[in-house]
Amino acid sequence: MAKKELFIKRVYEFVNELKIPLIDERVYDRVSVGGSMVSVIFKFEEDESVIRGFLGLAEYFHTVIIKQKDQFIIPHQNMVFKLISA
């Protein structure tokens, strides 16, 4: 299994475990995230604590996660948190 596929699979597993709402390409027609004042990028390099920390933000802010191509996004007010695979 390719590294990016494994990354996406692990995120989906953790999202299901934590019961966090996730919006992906199967649900939306188009997504555009921008205009934020703050953008924080989490980079996954085989340490699953990065994924758990990222998902913890969604729990803390009581928000959704948006999957866009090979990255996951948490929008919150004027901030955008992104999880990408290295």
Query: pLDDT digit string (tens) for 1-43?
Result: 588 889 999 999 999 999 999 999 888 888 887 777 898 999 9
Q: How many domains does the chain have?
A: 1
Tell whether the model's pLDDT for residue 66 goes beyond 90. Answer: yes
38-62 per-residue burial string, b: 16 or more CB within 10 A, e: under 16: eeeebebeeeeebbeebbebbeeee
- 23 and 64 in contact (C-beta within 8 Å)? yes
Q: Nearest 10 degrees: CA dihedral of 15, 18, 20, 24?
A: 10
Q: What is the pLDDT averaged over residues 67-86?
A: 92
Q: What is the overall mean pLDDT for the chain?
A: 91
Residue 39: which domain range? 3-85
Tell me what pLDDT residue 1 has: 58
DSSP category for residue 37: S
